[in-house]
Amino acid sequence: MKFAVIDIGSNSVRLLSWADGTSLYKRLITTRLAEGMKEGELSEASMRRTADAVRIFSEEGERANARVVSFATAAVRSSKNGGKFCELVKRMCGQEVDVVSGEEEAELALCGALGNEDGAVLDVGGASSEYGVRKNGKTVFSVSLPVGAVRLHERCGDREELLRAAIWEAISSDLEKPCGKVYAVGGTASTLASVKLGLEHYDPVRLQGCSLPFDWVEGTANALLSMTKEERSLIRGMEKDRADIIAGGALLVAMLMKKLSLSELLFSDRDNLEGYLVLRGLV
């Protein structure tokens, strides 16, 4: 069975091509769906460019004779006009968008990164961040936190004091301590891992399992905060479309690691896209 899975996120739209139990490739288009939200509503411009990216990926899946499925996360879930966006996508490419809940989003990351193992997963997204813990084969804790890299950038820019206050406000609730390995998924984590390895091009094989020690993440976050967007974009491994939001995202990862007393995170390229197929019983 072939699947084309489309993840409509707050910062980007991603595609997973899946066949015969294997991930063939992933693609990404940065659309910034959560950018420019006013009074809880997605902007017309961000909805149109995001729906167009969904159309492009949907057509790619159809050309490959794959079953196309799409899901949306925090930006659509939390907006007042998320339904209007879903209607726009349906008109443009016939896709029914599955808007997942915050708890389901945390479960997606667990299913994708852990497979059948116990452990924990941290997913720092654009508009929200999810954290889940699995013990003895069961999810014992999951939470969706109302903070992400795009939302932080729009609210605080690169002002460290404001960023720290906003992050602490969002993560100050009690979080279950992890057991086993703790994986990080999402664009902020992949960018940090790519920078740590100095990758010129995204390489899922090399990135899978990349260690992100707390001291390194904290030091990198501080360094990024002291740089301009242009200086960050010159760093080897930096995703150019993420250079403006990466400092706040990195600081969020560091502060979450400190709160959870984590000495390291392991990056996982297997994430929500694979997790969606598992959670919905498609594979």
| Residue 82 structure tokens | 């998320």
Q: What is the pLDDT of residue 35?
A: 87
Give 226-232's long-range contacts (Cβ < 8 A, gap of 24+). Answer: none
State the Cα–Cα distance between residues 210 and 145, nearest whole angstrom: 24
Q: What is the pLDDT of residue 36?
A: 85
One DSSP character per residue, 84-99 reads HHHHHHHHHH-PPEEE
pLDDT for 237-267, tens place per residue? 999 999 999 999 999 999 999 999 999 999 9
pLDDT for 212-237, tens place per residue? 999 999 999 999 999 999 999 999 99
pLDDT above 90 (res 102): no
| Residue 84 structure tokens | 């209007």
Domains of the chain: 2-99 (3.30.420.40), 102-267 (3.30.420.150)
pLDDT for 13-59, tens place per residue? 999 999 999 999 999 999 999 988 889 999 999 999 999 999 999 99
pLDDT for 103-162, tens place per residue? 899 999 999 999 989 999 999 999 999 999 999 999 999 999 999 999 999 999 999 999
Residues 67 and 7 sit within 8 Å (Cβ to Cβ):
no
pLDDT above 90 (res 179): no
pLDDT for 192-211, tens place per residue? 999 999 999 999 999 999 99
State the Cα–Cα distance between residues 211 and 23, nearest whole angstrom: 22
> Greatest CA separation found in the chain?
50
